[in-house]
Amino acid sequence: MDKNQILEQLKKINYPGFSRDIVSFGMVKEVVIDQNIITIILSISSSNDEKKNKLVQDITDNLILKDYELKIKILDQPPKNTTVDTSNKDANVEGNIRNIIAVASGKGGVGKSTIALNLAAALSKAGHKTGLLDLDIYGPSLPITMGINQNPAVNDQQKIIPVVKDNLKLMSFGFISGNQAPVVWRGPLIAKMTEQFFKDVIWGELDYLILDLPPGTGDVQLTLSQKIPLDGAIIVTTPNDIALTDVRKGADMFNKVKTPLLGVVENMSYMEIVGKLKTSSALSSDIELQLDNKLIALNEDMSFKHKFHLFKKGGGVNESKRLDIPLLGEIPYSEDLMLSIDEGQPLVFADENHPISQIFTKIANSLKN
CA-CA distance, 235 to 142, in Å (whole number)? 19
Q: What is the pTM of this model?
A: 0.73
Q: If DSSP codes are grouped into helix, strand and coil, which group holds residue 345?
A: coil
Task: Assign residue 196 the CATH number of its domain.
Answer: 3.40.50.300
Residue 304 sits in the same domain as residue 191: no
In a domain, 304, yes or no: yes
In a domain, 178, yes or no: yes
In this prediction, residue 253 carries a pLDDT of 80
In a domain, 213, yes or no: yes
The last residue of one of the domains, among 75, 107, 134, is 75
In this prediction, residue 350 carries a pLDDT of 92
CA-CA distance, 336 to 334, in Å (whole number)? 5
In this prediction, residue 87 carries a pLDDT of 44
Cα angle for residues 222, 200, 50 (degrees, 5° grid): 70
Cα 263 to chain centroid, rounded? 7
In this prediction, residue 342 carries a pLDDT of 87
Residue 120 sits in the same domain as residue 62: no
Residue 232 sits in the same domain as residue 214: yes
Within 13 Å, how many C-alpha atoms sit on residue 281's CB side?
2
Residue 253 sits in the same domain as residue 352: yes
Residue 105 sits in the same domain as residue 121: yes
Regarding beta strands 294-296 and 289-291, do their DSSP bridges make them parallel or antiparallel, or are they unpaired? antiparallel
Residue 288 sits in the same domain as residue 322: no
The last residue of one of the domains, among 75, 104, 138, is 75
Residue 289 sits in the same domain as residue 166: no
In a domain, 89, yes or no: no
Number of structural domains, the chain? 3
Give residue 352's domain range. 95-268+312-366
Q: For residue 306, which of 272, 344, 336 has the smallest C-alpha distance?
A: 272
Provide CB contacts within 8 A for 3, sequence distance 6+.
31, 33
Residue 257 sits in the same domain as residue 135: yes
pLDDT less than 50: residues of the chain: 77-91, 181-182, 369
Task: Assign residue 44 the CATH number of its domain.
Answer: 3.30.300.130
Residue 194 sits in the same domain as residue 133: yes
Query: Following DSSP, what letter does each residue of 183-208 receive, concatenated?
Result: TT--HHHHHHHHHHHHHTB--EEEEE
Regarding beta strands 160-161 and 153-154, do their DSSP bridges make them parallel or antiparallel, or are they unpaired? antiparallel
Residue 25 sits in the same domain as residue 119: no
Residue 208 sits in the same domain as residue 276: no
Residue 33 sits in the same domain as residue 154: no
